Chains A and B, each alone.
Chain A
Amino acid sequence: MTWSRRDFLRTGSAFAAAGVIGLDGRFLKDPYAAARAYRPFRPLLQDPDVRALAMTALQAARDVGTSYADVRVTSGIARATGAGDRRVGLRRISGSLNFGVRVLMGGAWGFASSTIVTEEEAARIARLAARQASLNPWSQTDNIEMAPAPVVADGQWETPIDLDPWNYTIQDQLELQLEANELVVKIAEAGRPGLRVSSSFSFSRSDVVFASSEGSYIEQRFNNFGGSYVAQVISEDRMEFGLASPESFRTGGYGWEAIEGIPWADDIEQAVEEAYMMLGARDPDVGRYDVVLGSGAVSSILNSTIVRALEYDRVLGYEMHAGGTSYLGPAEEALGQFSFNNPMLNVRATGSVPRAAGVYRWDAEGVAPQDYQLIREGVLVDYFTSREFAPQLDWWYRRNGIETGSRGTAGSAGSTLTQVVAPSIAIMDPGEENVSEEDMIAATEDGIYFPGGGFASVDPPMLNMQGGGGGLIYEIRDGKLGDILRRPSYLANTIDFWRSMDMIGGPDTFAYGGGGTFKGDPSQLIGRTVGAPAARFRNLNVFTYGRR
């Protein structure tokens, strides 16, 4: 039995009496069986219907003459709760079910996606994508060819977690959340008026099936805990805020263990103190300073100024209108030649970081991520690519005896959006010697210390930055921490900035930070994890926004 899409849209009423349409468009005889057989979400893994849907899309693409096709099907669920002090906000459980088909035809891309997950729609979407490609006037001149990649015929992977959050209810989640909030509320009631706590917890699970016309079939389940837990105070004139999050509050590839027993409880008092200390900050004196950045601050600026610039589609100009261009090009002049003139700077890609947000076993093109070096002792030696772009660097790979191919850094913000170059994990190596942040502070005469977090505003070619910090920021005087400073920022040229790095933290200072990147039209925000050690940068231009 097949269904036209129009009919499917009408099922809301047309089939009420007869029965219920299941995921695959077949009747379920008892309309309430579905409700009784209620599952937290539609798992895709090991599901013959999903395989059939994927094969239908691939066959439809093949039938109209595409040279390559891939289909991604996503079924997801997220459970989010928010609470301010003892007040509970909207409770939300969100389900998603959708798929996208990408085709290569006559050397041009086509991409279409839908939330109507039926075999007939899968065929329609595949043909629609093919039709885009066939109508593209540049199809024959561009003649895109993908780099070969190993076929993964039966790939399975799941983000490892300890406790399955879906064995707990939204009530369990809220009870723990209010219990956690209560720890701050109690401090407030004990004599800290104006102190508030705001928290949001979100568990998500997403099953993604990838199938390609080359024979790959990959099932992955991504588990994630996202959210925040922030102690807040406000100044008397209500113009300044003190915000602090407990150091041990963790998000990323976690299950229920992220919140079970409130693992950050011991750090809450410290966070509250920090929030109050922020209110006592003074404006910095504008000038030149040596700047010590904690791991979080380094990872933020690393993501904004180097990791993004290493994405080869930016280098080529594909992102000129969207995410921006890159100073690390053109490849012919930059690979092996461009240098930050700083042998301490080593940047790598990796696929294997437990607990990192966004970690995968195979990327959005079904390619396993590799561990490889992109910047070696300050010199550019490779880019983040995809199967589309890797062949353009064939000359470089041949010269260096490396196999030409994607290293597994294609991503997307979901199956309804097409793949772009978007590595999920990038790392700046720590130094070999065990240099601590304290050592760097002690070695600094006149400086500023940004312990963590932070933001970076960078121009579209990623060459001119303004960096700032979140949380407490201290002045450094004669090797010791001094006053807390209000919103100092440093301005620098990207290349000068990295060249000025003269101390690098040891393995003990290394940590992973959250990051992300905007890519593509329509715009996709793709999350990533960036690991970095602490580091010191010399003689930066520091200023503040001032107040008007």
Chain B
Amino acid sequence: MSRDSSAAAAGSTETGAKRTGIAATGEILTREEAEAIAKKALSFADPNAETIVNVSLANSQNTRIGINRITTQRDASLGGVAVTTRLNGRIAQGTTQRFDDEGLMQAVKWAEDSAREGPGGRQEMGRLIQPRDYPVPPGLWSEASREVDIPDRIRKAVEAIERADGYVAAGTLDLGINSMLVANSAGLVAYCRSTTGTMELGARTDDNTGSGWAGKAIYDFNDMDTVAVAAKATDKAERSRNPSAVEPARYTVILEPDAYASMIAFMMQYHMDLPSAQRGSSVFADPNGGTKIGQQVFDERLSFVSDPMDPDAPFCPFSGTGVPFDRTYWVQDGILRNLSFGDATAIERGLEYPLANPVSVRLQPKEGTELLTLDEMVETCERGIYVTRLTMGVADFRRLVFTGVTRDGTWLVERGRITRPIKNMRYVDSHMYFLNNLEAVGEPVLAATGGFMLPPVRSRDFNFTAIADAV
């Protein structure tokens, strides 16, 4: 494949550029290419060591919107290789961004030099994952996304900007074309490719009293309806003009899924592992010792389930060490069922492999639960506050309590309808509370950050602590 620099003169050969591969944006590693790199790294490895190699190449594309125009764009081709060596009861990792032999040798050497000797041996290690087949999650890869070129992204951004005319708009359009492969010295080879994207847009009214936001995650670029995102953001901004204050107190809240998605992400990332719970440093530690497995931790209508084959939110079906992500109920009907664990526990329990945590999760209402739309939640609400979005900071890690402020569309609900926009308020609360104080739940949707299928919820007694009088 040749690259003729004159043909690549920027912008001059738009239609031909993609076909000829000149300045193409979406290149990743095929299975064969990734496997060749992994095999090369394995060939440099000490045969007495157990070695795991991860190879990845992601193409990360961004179109940024600020003050109603495209301010910056980015195309990043980001590769990486991680070599994990298990030797003499020690685990070490060497990583490189280089795919050439010198780079691979370096990574192998870093890992092996670190593992071969020194203090702290005797770590418990399970068997390497043996060669196996993994399912291919439907919907995780889209050719349409892979073929996206700069003009396509710009067109989508421009459509959103045009739809937001009359408002001050800022946002981001992101697309990731990703490839990754895990191979190990036991012969395992697992490859996964994915296409993910998001569009987020904030809009302010020209008098700077109203602000709205909307976002959407996609796998297939054809589903990237940026006009709808802009319409939702500007509608929220318009309806937020000239807010008035309500007294901070405990209120019933109607939460859009994106309002609390980062809380769920934080829990999945930092609180779902068994050792933390056993030690006492996770929200799922029982104050009386042990963990809360078997105890009710959320409303009985709610389950948390991770499944790479989830048709609405698929993800790669294995971990960085090749551990299969089996469909896992972390919480079933409100009861904590599982926490992730590593090799030591897997050996102790006689299991073939550990229970790995993919972080991505679906919050699924129990079958037979009446599911309400956001509108229906408003219609059946006597008095409450409708929340579009919350900023999130961790106030108490152990109890998983957060603090932050409402933003981009907060309204008072009275007698079944939205009556007026209200000034932003600070909150101190947690999904550990409001997913227990549940009044109503809706159909899960893909949150804008991607990877999380969350329903809108209505809950009692959400704790607003102060007015945060700024837009």
Report A's interface with B, CB cutoff 8 A: 4-16, 20-23, 28, 31, 34-35, 38, 41, 60, 63-65, 83, 86-88, 90-98, 100, 105, 108-117, 120, 123-125, 127-138, 141-142, 169-171, 174-175, 178, 234, 237-241, 316-322, 327, 416-418, 455, 457, 459-461, 463-464, 466, 468, 487, 489, 491, 493, 520-522, 541, 543, 545, 547-548
- Which A residue's beta carbon lies closest to that of B22? A127
B80 at the interface (CB under 8 A from A): yes
Q: Given the complex, which residues of B lie within 8 Å of A493, measured CB to CB?
A: 469
**CB-CB under 8 A for A241 and B281, given A91-B93, A97-B98:** yes
The answer to whether A137 touches B118, judged by C-beta atoms less than 8 angstroms apart, is no
Cα(A110)–Cα(B70), bound, Å? 11
The answer to whether A91 touches B92, judged by C-beta atoms less than 8 angstroms apart, is yes
Contacting residues of chain B (444-471) with chain A, CB-CB under 8 angstroms: 465-471
The answer to whether A135 touches B119, judged by C-beta atoms less than 8 angstroms apart, is no
**CB-CB under 8 A for A318 and B170, given A64-B9, A170-B113:** yes
Cα(A16)–Cα(B41), bound, Å? 11
Cα(A4)–Cα(B150), bound, Å? 21
The answer to whether B80 touches A92, judged by C-beta atoms less than 8 angstroms apart, is no
Q: Given the complex, which residues of B lie within 8 Å of A128, measured CB to CB?
A: 23, 25, 75
Q: Given the complex, which residues of B lie within 8 Å of A317, measured CB to CB?
A: 66-67, 168, 170
B96 at the interface (CB under 8 A from A): yes
**CB-CB under 8 A for A327 and B470, given A64-B9, A127-B10, A320-B66:** yes
**CB-CB under 8 A for A13 and B36, given A113-B76, A138-B70:** yes
Contacting residues of chain B (1-22) with chain A, CB-CB under 8 angstroms: 1-3, 5, 8-11, 14, 17, 22
10 of the cross-chain contacts (CB-CB < 8 Å) are A20-B102, A91-B90, A92-B94, A132-B150, A135-B11, A174-B118, A238-B289, A459-B407, A521-B172, A545-B395
The answer to whether B99 touches A92, judged by C-beta atoms less than 8 angstroms apart, is no
The answer to whether B33 touches A459, judged by C-beta atoms less than 8 angstroms apart, is no
Q: Given the complex, which residues of A lie within 8 Å of B57, measured CB to CB?
A: 9
**CB-CB under 8 A for A111 and B74, given A64-B8, A124-B3, A459-B407:** yes
The answer to whether A109 touches B79, judged by C-beta atoms less than 8 angstroms apart, is no
The answer to whether B95 touches A132, judged by C-beta atoms less than 8 angstroms apart, is no
Cα(A505)–Cα(B109), bound, Å? 51
Contacting residues of chain B (361-388) with chain A, CB-CB under 8 angstroms: none
Q: Given the complex, which residues of A lie within 8 Å of B246, measured CB to CB?
A: none
Q: Which of B5, B77, B100, B405 contacts A60 (CB 8 A)?
A: B5
B48 at the interface (CB under 8 A from A): no
B438 at the interface (CB under 8 A from A): no
Q: Given the complex, which residues of B lie within 8 Å of A92, measured CB to CB?
A: 92-95, 114
The answer to whether A240 touches B398, judged by C-beta atoms less than 8 angstroms apart, is yes
User: B270-314, CB under 8 A of A: which get 1 and which 0?
Assistant: 000000000111000111110000000000000000000000000
Q: Given the complex, which residues of A lie within 8 Å of B170, measured CB to CB?
A: 317-322
B350 at the interface (CB under 8 A from A): no
Q: Which of A31, A94, A117, A327 contacts B95 (CB 8 A)?
A: A94
Contacting residues of chain B (85-139) with chain A, CB-CB under 8 angstroms: 90-107, 109-111, 113-115, 117-120, 123
Cα(A463)–Cα(B469), bound, Å? 8
The answer to whether A12 touches B424, judged by C-beta atoms less than 8 angstroms apart, is no
**CB-CB under 8 A for A95 and B150, given A5-B27, A134-B11, A522-B172:** no
B416 at the interface (CB under 8 A from A): no
B334 at the interface (CB under 8 A from A): no
**CB-CB under 8 A for A4 and B1, given A240-B398, A460-B407:** yes
The answer to whether B426 touches A464, judged by C-beta atoms less than 8 angstroms apart, is yes
- Which A residue's beta carbon lies closest to that of B158? A137
**CB-CB under 8 A for A28 and B102, given A93-B95, A239-B399, A318-B170:** yes
B65 at the interface (CB under 8 A from A): yes
- Which A residue's beta carbon lies closest to that of B14? A135
**CB-CB under 8 A for A110 and B99, given A5-B27, A127-B23, A327-B470:** no
